[in-house]
Amino acid sequence: MLRNTLVLLAVAGLFTFTVEAALAQSDSNFTISPPPLAYPSYAPGSAEKISLATISVEAKGFEMSGASFNYVSRGNIQSPGEDTDVTPLGSAFSVNMGLTQLSGEGTGFTMEYISFPFGLGYEKELFNNDGNNFIAFGGMTYEMSTMEVEFGKNNSTTYISMLGFKVGGQMTFTAGSLKISPFFFMTQASGSAETGTYIYDPCCASFSDTVDINVSSSAYGFDILHTDSGITLSSILQQAISDKSEVNITILQISYSFGGSVDADRKSGLDINVQ
């Protein structure tokens, strides 16, 4: 009973700024991750984005809530009008890092979760027509996380390490100073969760266990970007269903974009994507 509960609560991490929960001993898992791109336009210069998000997780037997912080930095490989005789399409490399904290409870237990995600990515603009574009992206993800669970006078601590990749796409539609960007992405990651459990009632016992984790998931959402202010509102709904559990995740996020690429986009009136 105890081991099954801990396995269910083995929350693993994901990517670009992220949180993952692994329903161990099942092939279905879920992830928490913010919108994928720093900025939808590839005007010359760098693009930076700072994001704050509220997170709600509901599953059979427990629920969690908390917040996350994420920072994304993007450097253009190619910007519109640079070294090309055809319709200019942008491309870039990006790096992101963040922090997520969640608290939750279930029947007979409480828990705390903290995660440190890191990611490297490549993005390529495949289509651009008068402010409407499509960007494909992918990259490496890594995350370290810790979960502490208390059940009565007893407790356990789980250390999780995950390495994987993410691929997806984002479409942007421009309407004046607003950019609306629906997006989707899929992730795959693997790693391990090491758990130490300490029993004080009845006194006394301790044991440890290591579980291999394989995470596969998908997510979709949208961004609404106000280009004049650089502020983005985002919403993501994610769901993973297996024969053992159903998990629903909702993320509401606000972001601020800045940097040379963002400033050049405003001045030139370039309209391409949203975030």
264, 271 in Cβ contact below 8 A? no
pLDDT of residue 122: 95
The segment with the largest mean pLDDT, out of 8-22, 36-50, 153-167, 221-235, is 153-167
**Domain membership flag for residue 45:** yes
**Domain membership flag for residue 178:** yes
Comparing C-alpha atoms, which of 113, 175, 177, 112 is closest to residue 143?
Answer: 113
What CATH number should be reported for the domain holding residue 130? 2.40.128
**Domain membership flag for residue 274:** no
pLDDT of residue 236: 54
pLDDT band at 227 (very low <50, low <70, confident <90, very high): confident
pTM of the predicted protein model: 0.75
Summarize pLDDT for 57-90 with one digit per residue, the tens. Answer: 887 778 889 999 999 999 888 876 555 455 578 8
Query: What token pair was written down for 124?
Result: 């390529």
Domain range for residue 262? Answer: 2-268
**Mean of pLDDT values over 184-189:** 88
pLDDT of residue 7: 37
The segment with the largest mean pLDDT, out of 44-53, 131-140, 195-204, is 131-140
pLDDT of residue 124: 92
Report how far apart the first and last C-alpha atoms of the chain are (Å, whole number). 44
pLDDT of 52 higher than 70: yes
**Domain membership flag for residue 232:** yes
Q: Is 146 or 87 the better-scoring residue by pLDDT?
A: 146
Indicate the number of domains in the chain: 1
The segment with the largest mean pLDDT, out of 5-19, 160-174, 178-192, 254-268, is 160-174
Mean pLDDT, the chain, integer: 76
Comparing C-alpha atoms, which of 156, 147, 149 is closest to residue 110?
Answer: 149
Summarize pLDDT for 241-253 with one digit per residue, the tens. Answer: 434 456 777 777 7
Comparing C-alpha atoms, which of 253, 255, 244 is closest to residue 21?
Answer: 244
pLDDT of 206 higher than 60: yes
**Domain membership flag for residue 18:** yes
pLDDT band at 102 (very low <50, low <70, confident <90, very high): very high
Is 150 strand, coil or helix? strand
Q: How far apart are CA 13 and CA 160, in angstroms?
A: 7
Angle, vertex CA 171, rays to CA 95 and CA 140, nearest 5: 25
